[in-house]
Amino acid sequence: MKKRRSAAYYSFMCLPLIMTLIFLTVIVVPFFLGIGYSFFKWDGIPINPKIFVGLDNYTELFSDVRFWQSGKHTVIFTIFSVISTNCLGLAFAVLLTRKYAARNVARVMVFAPHLIGGLLLGFIWKFVFSSPFPKLGEVLGIENLLFNWLLNEGFAMAALVFVNTWKMAGYIMIIYISGIQGISTEFIEAAHVDGASAIQRFWYIMLPLLRPAVTITTFITLANSFKIFDVNLSLTGGGPFNSTEMFAMNIYNEMFTRGNYGYGQAKAIVFFILVAVVTLAQTYANKQKEVEM
């Protein structure tokens, strides 16, 4: 018994140290190595020489039209994706906090897409858009709406937003459900007694009290949308004509397709700073609007 206690004791002592070492090895050390590589011209192959170029990789970014175009695509995708994911997730949460028999089954069904890997999800929907979509359009006589969206520059972006929303809405729903369940029923009942309609109770009571959940979900969806890569790679591949190439894919192509590892690292550092600034600013702004319950 004493040996078992000793083993458990040392396990709990060593586990934080092990996790810290893993974090340093996988996250911190590669991050600082990446900063160092961003000052060199290098193709990423260890046996090839690294040529120190100082800040040239960073100054070159200002004239990189394709990089900033990918930034424009990322911003457009992020705006629509954050709005659609949060609105749909909140709608599901409101509907699935009501008492009825199949509530838990419905929650599982809505959450299930989040469990599918991004690459696999992209390939699944690529097939859907390529085959069933056009055929369904022919049957219903709406070929102008139901066609292969991935071949059209405007609709390909809409397809990305749709698939990302379908994947993330269930996860966001769970956060909103937790927030709704944390709201005291006294507020809702008092508003109902005073004659407030369901819409008024939602808008003036529930939504302000959900501000902490909104802060979390907006942060998650914003960061996820900015960093999207797997769905972008498998669904559109950045096409057609680079119209859906996001920041992460542009960096990936720069490093592993065009072989500019140092320049790609400079892009990655700038990308990291942009994401950090946007997400922290959003979190601070939402925190100021939170209501004390």
| Domain extents in the chain | 59-288
**How far from the centroid of its chain's Cα atoms is residue 100's Cα?**
31
CATH number of 59-288: 1.10.3720.10
**3-state SS, residue 49:** coil
Single-letter residue type at 134: P
Burial code (b: 16+ CB inside 10 Å, e: under 16) for 249-266 equals: bbbbbbbeeeebbbbbbb
Using CA atoms, how far apart are residues 84 and 124, in angstroms rounded to an integer? 21
Of residues 192 and 231, more confidence is placed in 231
Nearest CA among 36, 241, 54, 222 for reference residue 157: 241
Reported as a single tens digit per residue, the pLDDT across 17-28 is 888 888 888 888
Give the mean model confidence (pLDDT) for residues 141-146: 83
Single-letter residue type at 259: G
Model confidence at 291: pLDDT above 80? no
- The pTM assigned to this predicted structure is 0.87
Of residues 96 and 85, more confidence is placed in 85
Q: Phi first, then psi: give them for residue 52, nearest 5 degrees.
A: -70, 125
Model confidence at 218: pLDDT above 60? yes
